[in-house]
Amino acid sequence: MKTFDNNRSFNEWRKNIDTNKKVGFVPTMGALHEGHISLVKKAIEENDYSVVSIFVNPTQFNNKEDFAKYPNTLEKDIKLLQSVNCDVLFLPNSNEIYPNNELKIIPFSFSGIEKIMEGEFRPNHFDGVATVVKLLFDRIKPTRAYFGEKDYQQLLIINEMVKLEKMPIEIIGMPIFRESDGLAMSSRNMRLSKEFRKEATFIYDCLLLAKKMTTTNHSIDEIKTKINKLFSNSTLNLEYFEVRENNSLKFAKEFESAEKYRAFISVYAGEIRLIDNIELF
Neighbour-count burial of 250, counting CB atoms closer than 10 A to its CB (0-12 exposed, 13-18 middle, 19+ buried): middle
Q: How far is the CB of 180 from ligand AMP (least distance, A)?
A: 13
Dihedral sign, Cα of residue 58, residue 64, residue 66, residue 69? positive
Nearer to ligand AMP, 150 or 191 (CB): 150
Q: How far is the CB of 185 from ligand AMP (least distance, A)?
A: 4
CA distance 68 to 76: 20
On whether the CB atoms of residues 59 and 128 are closer than 8 A, the answer is yes
CA distance 241 to 218: 16
On whether the CB atoms of residues 116 and 31 are closer than 8 A, the answer is no
Q: How far is the CB of 222 from ligand AMP (least distance, A)?
A: 29
Q: How far is the CB of 10 from ligand AMP (least distance, A)?
A: 19
Q: Could you tell me the maximum CA-CA distance found in the chain, to the nearest angstrom?
A: 59
On whether the CB atoms of residues 3 and 89 are closer than 8 A, the answer is yes
Residue number of the CB closest to ligand AMP reads: 148
On whether the CB atoms of residues 5 and 93 are closer than 8 A, the answer is yes
Choosing from 33, 36, 125, 218, the catalytic residue is 36
Binding site for ligand AMP (CB under 6 A): 28-29, 35-36, 38-39, 147-148, 150-151, 174, 176-177, 184-187
Nearer to ligand AMP, 38 or 214 (CB): 38
Nearest-Å Rg of the Cα atoms of the chain is 19
Known catalytic residue at 33:
no
Nearer to ligand AMP, 185 or 213 (CB): 185
Nearer to ligand AMP, 105 or 172 (CB): 172
Catalytically annotated residues: 36
